[in-house]
Amino acid sequence: MEWMLMPLRRYAEFSGRSRRKEYWMFLLFTALVAAVLVALLLAGGLPAMMAGDPNGLAEDPGPIFWLGAGLLGLFILGIFIPSIAVAVRRFHDRDMSGWWYLGFIVLGAIPYIGIIASIASFVIMCLPGTPGPNRFGPDPKDPANASVFA
């Protein structure tokens, strides 16, 4: 659980490096919380809204739907900055500038090229970081051992 919440503790810290474990555990945490909040939407009346006639709503959504929608909106707003920050730190761990993240976002908006850019970004996030210190800081896996070989 510590790895899942670490990017929230480092809320807007764009400097330094983040391990793969920190990135993927944060992604797992956000997916689990989002799944619970979407389940609230479904339990609160989203299927009833979508099953209605095409000119209107078959049924008004219940209060559980609005609670889920509000919580989901707040959650998305709350993790927006930390998710960008942990991705930038993950690029730093690969000894790449954080501006590459913006490049992948822009390329993702271009049809067909966006698929390739998404796959490339996924591969970069899966690759291990550079061993030892790099221009963005010490190795997050073993920061104490970096000075032994210097």
Give the pLDDT confidence score for residue 51 in this predicted structure.
Answer: 56
Q: Mean pLDDT score of the chain, rounded to an integer? A: 86
Q: Answer yes or no: are the C-beta atoms of 92 and 125 closer than 8 Å.
A: no
Give the pLDDT confidence score for residue 150 in this predicted structure.
Answer: 45
Whether the pTM exceeds 0.85: the reply is: no
Helix then strand then coil, % of the chain, to nearest 5? 65, 0, 35
For 9-57, how does the pLDDT look when each residue is reduced to its tens digit (9 = 90+)? 888 899 999 999 999 999 999 999 999 999 888 887 665 555 555 555 4
Give the pLDDT confidence score for residue 61 in this predicted structure.
Answer: 72
Tell me what percent of the residues of the chain surpass a pLDDT of 90.
57
Q: Answer yes or no: are the C-beta atoms of 20 and 1 closer than 8 Å.
A: no
Q: Answer yes or no: are the C-beta atoms of 94 and 130 closer than 8 Å.
A: yes
- Cα gap 147→133, rounded to integer Å: 9
Q: Tokens representing 3?
A: 């790895």
What length is written for the chain? 150
Residue 72, SS3 per DSSP: helix
- Cα gap 125→57, rounded to integer Å: 42
Give the pLDDT confidence score for residue 149 in this predicted structure.
Answer: 44
Q: Tokens representing 35?
A: 């799944």
